[in-house]
Chains A and B, each alone.
Chain A
Amino acid sequence: MSAPTATPVSFGRRAGRALGDDRMRAAIARGTGLMVQRRHEAIAELRNADELRDAASVIRAAALQRLPELLERWSDNLGALGGHVHWASDADEANAIVAGIVARRGAKVIAKGKSMVSEEIHLNDVLERAGADVVETDLGEFIQQLAGEPPSHIVAPAMHKDRFEVADLLSADRGAPVSPEITAEAAYARRRLRQAFLDAGVGITGVNFAVAATGSICLVENEGNGRMCSSLPPTHIALMGLERIVADFDELDVMLNLLARSATGQALTTYTNIITGPRRPGEVDGPEELHVVVLDGGRSAVVGTRFSPALHCIRCGACLNVCPVYRQVGGHTYDSVYSGPIGAVLTPLLKPTDPAARELAEASSLCGACTEICPVRIPLHDLLLQLRHRDARADASRLRRAGFWLWSQAWSRRWSFGAMVLGARVVLPLLRRLRWLPDIGWLGAWRQGRELP
């Protein structure tokens, strides 16, 4: 798979290309299959998984309803502890805020942990243009940075690559061969990135949850790079979407019980970091400055609409792993930071004016596996259907509207429905025998995957 190209190519064309990439498809099939299996085993350890999922769904909905109040309380609390909260309406503002801090602190090396928001705003491009050396430190993100590609999965960014492709990338980086064994590859990354942590003037991470009652941010991870980025450099910048808030530790506990189980099949990730302000007087290490950048980026326009459940997402990636479309075409085919079912819902909502984003709502068979597995019970396939409905209404020409009106009239009357069935029984076999079935335009594409009755 290659990174998105400059010329816009339709989802169908991209999917067609992906289907020819057997190596990528084998890697995705293996990765998603393992993640689904591990998730099922971890959820089965809970006696009250359904009760927790119901509660999580209500917690997320309630947080969106109380967003101004919760964000205000959280930022007051964090501010009182010496943390700086920055409010960014869009990507440009968020990038300018981060670049401003980096410049003021004179940081040359930036150690970066995993952050989907940073992908959303294309932060690395901005910082690199300003002359900074940005080092992705999550193993999967590091591989993707070497490949010059965006992540293809929310949780496992390099899921689409096999160990041999990874070895090629690491060998090129090292200038000497790295063995295609996974332990050797991880060991190389450990050695290679260690100095970056120690040299970095700024560490950048994402945020999984912000806790209003205490002013904390919670960051979960397995490798330890998030701890490094938030502990060793003198400045820590954390990026979060405005929806990522919970009221208190009771709510956080419910979410933590579901997040890692749904994502990687762990009861908890190896490290659950709860960061409450910068280093205090009397503490021996930790960053002198803590900045949290809160991004709107189109989210406020979704809050309170019928699509607001899309903002309940906790980025576990479970819907990607079960999606029959994602499992066939992989993440890059979506040509969006967020792929899979949640990406197909979120992308058109966050980019309402981008026609390519709207097309993603079609990238689903509406089988509902995503809705079934979602830990916070987002009705994903229903939202996809509603997006299609919205777009169909907005786009439909008069002719199309008239056509569909006629069809609905015909199918809701017994005699005309009967006439059409008869027509289909008599006329279609005739057409088929004469090999005269039109393969033109959308009808041809539609017919490729289907049998006429």
Chain B
Amino acid sequence: MSACTPRDEFLGRLRTGAAGGTGPIAPPTPRARFVRARTGPDGFMAAWRALGGTAERVPTDELRGAVAAFAAGRDGPLLAAAGLDVDADLRWPDCGSQAAAGAAVGVVRAVAAAAQTGTALLRADDNRGRAASLLPPACVLVIDAGTIVDTLGDYLRGTGDLPSQLVAVTGPSRSADIESTLVIGVHGPGDVHAILTG
């Protein structure tokens, strides 16, 4: 391995610098309070739509139909994460990345959602993986209405173990890098549909 500074030496330099301080402070960590509070499934759907996504709420046994209806008429296969009970042309991860990149729609299950900001939480463990929600231009996020919390902070504080990647998805992929003008769907999916069940 290349020459890298040993940790003790690296941190030692900081000990000398920080020694001038007045000792540790316990920082306050207030929760954000909002002018317009959004809670529950309706709050989530309103926030998600405001970001440019679409959303619907269906009874749990109608999930399969709702996914099929969303995917109908699209030009390309439907990709679903392993273990998700929907009709799919491709299963992640068995299909491989090149095939996944050619899918028209990816369907994944979110473990929870935060209503305030319209945020769906995706975990990389339990066969869910990372790529099914990332490569196709359209993404369906299946969310159990009972898992909706108020904010991302509430979810993070309440979660025990963490997978290698937890991603909080707040709307469609976007960029404002050219003339500060908003464009939807740059690298990630630009067409995002939330299906709340239960």
* A residues adjacent to B (C-beta < 8 A): 27, 30-31, 34-35, 44-48, 51-52, 54-55, 58-59, 61-62, 64-68, 71-72, 75, 81, 85-89, 93, 96-97, 99-100, 137-140, 143, 156-159, 161-163, 166, 182-183, 185-186, 189-190, 193-194, 197-198, 214, 216, 222-225, 227-228, 230-232, 242, 247, 249-254, 256-257, 264, 266-280, 282-286, 290, 294, 296, 300-305
Q: Is the CB of B187 within 8 A of A223?
A: yes
A309–chain B nearest beta-carbon distance, Å = 13
29 of the cross-chain contacts (CB-CB < 8 Å) are A51-B30, A64-B18, A66-B24, A68-B15, A86-B4, A87-B7, A139-B177, A139-B178, A158-B178, A159-B177, A182-B183, A186-B175, A222-B176, A224-B134, A225-B186, A231-B130, A232-B97, A253-B151, A256-B153, A266-B170, A268-B117, A268-B152, A270-B174, A272-B168, A278-B164, A284-B93, A300-B14, A301-B17, A304-B19
Give CA–CA (A138, B180) in the complex, Å. Answer: 14
Answer whether residue B3 sits at the interface, using C-beta atoms and an 8 A cutoff.
Answer: yes
Give CA–CA (A282, B163) in the complex, Å. Answer: 11
List, in ascending order, chain A residues with CB within 8 A of B169's CB: 270-271
Answer whether residue B59 sits at the interface, using C-beta atoms and an 8 A cutoff.
Answer: no
List, in ascending order, chain B residues with CB within 8 A of A264's CB: 176
Q: Is the CB of B153 within 8 A of A270?
A: no
With A52-B30, A55-B28, A183-B183 already in contact, the answer to whether A68 and B14 are too (CB < 8 A) is yes
Answer whether residue B21 sits at the interface, using C-beta atoms and an 8 A cutoff.
Answer: yes
Give CA–CA (A70, B18) in the complex, Å. Answer: 12
Q: Choose one: A194, A253, A254; the contact of B101 (CB below 8 Å).
A: A194
Q: Is the CB of B152 within 8 A of A286?
A: no
Answer whether residue B72 sits at the interface, using C-beta atoms and an 8 A cutoff.
Answer: no
Known: A139-B186, A156-B177. 17 other contacts (CB 8 A): A89-B5, A97-B4, A99-B2, A139-B177, A143-B178, A186-B185, A223-B175, A225-B187, A227-B187, A231-B130, A252-B153, A253-B156, A267-B116, A272-B168, A274-B166, A277-B164, A303-B18
A231–chain B nearest beta-carbon distance, Å = 4
B14–chain A nearest beta-carbon distance, Å = 5
Q: Is the CB of A271 within 8 A of B168?
A: yes
List, in ascending order, chain B residues with CB within 8 A of A252's CB: 153, 156
Give CA–CA (A346, B174) in the complex, Å. Answer: 30
* B residues adjacent to A (C-beta < 8 A): 1-7, 9-36, 82, 92-93, 97-98, 101, 116-117, 119, 124-125, 127-131, 134, 151-153, 156-157, 162-181, 183, 185-189
Q: Is the CB of A89 within 8 A of B177?
A: no
5 tightest A-B CB contacts, nearest first: A224-B188, A253-B153, A140-B177, A303-B17, A304-B17
List, in ascending order, chain B residues with CB within 8 A of A67's CB: 11, 14, 18
Give CA–CA (A358, B106) in the complex, Å. Answer: 52
Q: Is the CB of A48 within 8 A of B178?
A: no
Q: Is the CB of A97 within 8 A of B187?
A: no
Q: Choose one: A61, A250, A283; the contact of B125 (CB below 8 Å).
A: A283
Q: Is the CB of A257 within 8 A of B134?
A: no
Give CA–CA (A138, B126) in the complex, Å. Answer: 30
Q: Is the CB of B180 within 8 A of A34?
A: yes
Q: Is the CB of A58 within 8 A of B27?
A: yes
With A31-B180, A97-B2, A163-B179 already in contact, the answer to whether A189 and B186 are too (CB < 8 A) is yes
Q: Is the CB of B4 within 8 A of A58?
A: no
Give CA–CA (A197, B135) in the complex, Å. Answer: 10
List, in ascending order, chain A residues with CB within 8 A of B164's CB: 81, 275-280, 283, 286, 290
With A97-B4, A227-B167, A274-B166 already in contact, the answer to whether A61 and B20 are too (CB < 8 A) is no
List, in ascending order, chain A residues with CB within 8 A of B172's CB: 270
Give CA–CA (A266, B172) in the complex, Å. Answer: 13
List, in ascending order, chain A residues with CB within 8 A of B12's CB: 68
Closest residue to A250 on the B side, CB-wise?
Answer: B29
Q: Is the CB of A256 within 8 A of B152?
A: yes
Q: Choose one: B18, B93, B101, B162; the contact of A68 (CB below 8 Å).
A: B18
Give CA–CA (A88, B7) in the complex, Å. Answer: 9
Q: Is the CB of B188 within 8 A of A267?
A: no
Give CA–CA (A189, B18) in the complex, Å. Answer: 45
Q: Is the CB of A253 within 8 A of B152?
A: yes
List, in ascending order, chain B residues with CB within 8 A of A198's CB: 97-98, 101
Q: Is the CB of B153 within 8 A of A65?
A: no
Q: Is the CB of B11 within 8 A of A254?
A: no
List, in ascending order, chain A residues with CB within 8 A of B24's CB: 62, 65-66
